[in-house]
Amino acid sequence: MEQNKPKTKFSRRSFLKATGATSAVLGLSGLGFFGYEAGRDPASYTGWKTFEGGDQTFPRHRFTVNEPPYEKVGPTRRVDPRSEIVFSRLPTFVRYWRQDPRIESLPEHLQKYYQEHPEDLELDLENIKVLRPKLMADQEKYGRTFLLAEAWSEAMAAVVPPRITEPPEKADFPYVGWGRGQEKLRRPYKLKSPAKTSRLIKKIAHELGATLVGIARLNPDWVFQYPIPGRGLDPNQPLEIPSHWEYAIVVGTPMSWDPMYANPNYGTSEDAYSISRIIAYRLAAFIKYLGYAARPHTPGYSYDLMVPPIMIDAGLGEQARSSIVITPELGPNFRAAVVTTNIPLKPDKPIKFGVESFCKTCKICAEQCPSGAITKGDKVVVRGYRKWQLHAAKCYNFWNSNLGNMGCRLCIAVCPYTRKANWLHRAALNLSSNDPTGLSHDALTQLQKIFYPGPNPQDYYIPSLGGKNASYRRPPWWLRTEDFIEFE
């Protein structure tokens, strides 16, 4: 599509002429050693540095496109979180299965899902019958190795905003009052222009600690069909999309580098979860004070929508093979939250900066993923959109069978876009974003494999599943339990 061409991309000829792909690659190889060292410098932390969105320094305007870089094949359908989101499906499945281990006793929506996805029934059964018992046994033996990592994760998860239990018509609006039954709706202040308001909202989000901030008009396809179990509302009552969910503001923060990079037993997503969560709640409060509706959708079980496609719509990044969004600033190393609102805003445009082309040949995440959840194949059509589809049940079974903090972020740690923001990695990003030939993509993938190799994926498993409790990199000194705790 002509209109989807990034505005200032060079042609193949001019690119080769201007930079010389071969010499660029050789140059990068030569600088590899220095980059390897520089990339390990803790001072080049990827987090936000200034209150002006200092890390959003990538020249987005040069890569904007009029349509989001995903393909709508149609007809589209909204997600049913009760069955299609593994975090919700598995607890319900376990609850019913323990009472009566027959498919006929499961709720209708689960029966239907398993008929359509028999492989997921097998994986969910494996989870409760094989993986969890083996994990319990290994936890007795090795569990304390990761005690400090668990304590760190617990500390990060300690601040949890309240659940939203009232429907959006009530919960999202700014009521003020001085006593029971005397509250009244706060009237919206008149704003000068959507563009000015967008600038203000972004500044406030950065002040609150966000590295990434983007604005999209909310596409109803991204809203769940039902409230996610655990959100506070009845998960079996269909979720009507309120008319005041006009815009979606996305905020994102990076996960702390050293634990994320040591994965899988030492990292926790809770660090970035909790910060993005707090930013979204505070941003919603700011908007409500101006008299407009606002609802935070935050990590944990507090979403009514899917965040990744909204990030793409808001121009924050592109979908990757790992199914995560890759951003120019943080790669895939972030966690995000959303605020839906009716405050008049000027949406951002999507961007296309070479991720799809890079992921076509790279496949490092698929090769390193211990569970085989990431495809090495092509995109498939899911609910009317063509995308790289993660096999979430496989991924979640790995989470449920490793020690340390529940979860895994290996596909983030091993990705070439997950690099610290030093000069060399900035140069590599600019090279790959402007390269229409794909030559630099192959070269950068090879450099990643040479300078940042990983162990055999099977080694990431616990010993009773044939593994070695391996990590991608050594944990930071402050998470090495053996250096601090004396066990009896």
Using rule CB under 6 A, residue 266 touches ligand SF4:
no
Is 239 among the residues that bind ligand SF4 (CB under 6 A)? no
What is the closest distance, in whole angstroms, from the C-beta atom of residue 388 to ligand SF4 in the complex? Answer: 8
Nearer to ligand SF4 among residue 371 and residue 434 (C-beta) = 371
Question: Considering the complex, what minimum distance in angstroms separates the CB of residue 82 from ligand SF4?
Answer: 21
> Per CB under 6 A, which of residues 281..320 are in contact with ligand SF4?
320
Figure out which of the listed residues 228, 283, 395, 447 binds ligand SF4, where binding follows CB under 6 A: 395
Task: Please give the Cα distance from 417 to 390 (Å, whole number).
Answer: 19
Minimum Å gap between C-beta 292 and ligand SF4 is 37
Looking at the Cβ atoms of 414 and 428, the one nearer to ligand SF4 is 414
CB-nearer residue toward ligand SF4: 206 or 391: 391
- Judged by CB under 6 A, the chain residues 402 through 421 that form the site for ligand SF4 are 408-411, 414-417
Please enumerate in sequence order all residues whose Cβ is within 8 A of that of 223, keeping only pairs 6 or more positions apart, or say none: 78, 239, 241, 245, 304, 305
Q: Which amino acid is at 253?
A: T
Please give the Cα distance from 66 to 50 (Å, whole number). 30
Interaction between residue 365 and ligand SF4 (CB under 6 A):
yes
> Of residues 148, 359, 424, 428, which one binds ligand SF4 by CB under 6 A?
359
Residue 231 or 409 with smaller CB distance to ligand SF4:
409
Shortest Å, Cβ 265 to ligand SF4 = 12
Query: Is residue 362 within the footprint of ligand SF4 (CB under 6 A)?
Result: yes
User: Could you give phi then psi for residue 243, rounded to 5 degrees?
Assistant: -65, -20
* Shortest Å, Cβ 295 to ligand SF4: 28
- Least Å distance between CB 443 and ligand SF4? 13
Which of 307, 364, 403, 431 touches ligand SF4 by CB under 6 A?
364
Task: For ligand SF4, give the closer residue by CB, 227 or 309.
Answer: 309
Name the one range near ligand SF4 by CB under 6 A: 16-24, 49-57, 194-202, 357-365. 357-365
- Shortest Å, Cβ 352 to ligand SF4: 15
Closest listed residue to residue 229, CA positions, set 86, 40, 35: 86
Binding to ligand SF4 by residue 321, rule CB under 6 A? yes
Closer to ligand SF4 at the Cβ: 227 or 416? 416
Q: What is the 3-state secondary structure (H, E, C) of the chain?
A: CHHHCCCCCCCHHHHHHHHCHHHHHHHHHHHHHHHHHHCCCHHHCCCCCCCCCCCCCCCHHHHECCCCCCEECCCCCCCCHHHHCHHHHHHHHHHHHHHCCCHHHCCHHHHHHHHHCHHHHHHHHHHHHHHHHHHHHHHHHHHHHHHHHHHHHHHHCCCCCCCCCCCHHHHCCCEECCCCCCCEECCCCCCCCHHHHHHHHHHHHHHCCCCEEEEEECCHHHECCCCCCCCCCCCCCCCCCCCCCCEEEEEEECCCHHHHHHCCCCCCCHHHHHHHHHHHHHHHHHHHHCCCCEEEEECCCECCECHHHHHHHCCCCEECCCCCEEECCCECCCEEEEEEECCCCCCCCCECCCHHHHHHHHCHHHHHCCCCCCCCCCCEEECCEEECCCCHHHHHHHHCCCCCCCCCCHHHHCCCCCCCCCHHHHHHHHHHHHCCCCHHHHHHHHHHHHHCCCCCHHHHCCHHHCCCCCCCCCCCHHHCHHHCCCCC
Q: Which stretch binds ligand SF4 (CB under 6 A): 119-127, 274-282, 310-318, 355-363?
A: 355-363
Rounded CA separation 171/160 (Å): 18
The distance of closest approach from Cβ of residue 416 to ligand SF4 in the complex, given in angstroms and rounded to an integer, is 5
Nearer to ligand SF4, 299 or 416 (CB): 416
Is 369 among the residues that bind ligand SF4 (CB under 6 A)? yes
Stretch that binds ligand SF4, among 13-21, 139-147, 302-310, 371-379 (CB under 6 A): 371-379
**325 binds ligand SF4 per the rule CB under 6 A:** no
Stretch that binds ligand SF4, among 100-108, 249-257, 286-294, 362-370 (CB under 6 A): 362-370
- Cβ 329 vs Cβ 54: under 8 Å: no
Is residue 226 close enough to count as binding ligand SF4 by CB under 6 A? no
Give whole-number Cα distances, 327 to 144, 280, 350, 433, in Å.
35, 19, 11, 12
- CB of residue 345 to ligand SF4, shortest distance in Å: 30
- Residue 226 or 266 having the CB closest to ligand SF4: 266
Q: Minimum Å distance from CB 414 to ligand SF4?
A: 6
By CB under 6 A, is residue 374 in contact with ligand SF4?
A: yes
Q: Between 280 and 408, whose beta carbon lies closer to ligand SF4?
A: 408
- CB of 230: closest distance to ligand SF4 in angstroms? 21
Nearest distance, CB of residue 394 and ligand SF4, angstroms: 7
Name the amino acid, one letter, at 348: D
Residues near ligand SF4, by CB under 6 A: 320-322, 358-359, 362-365, 369-371, 373-374, 390, 395, 398, 408-411, 414-417
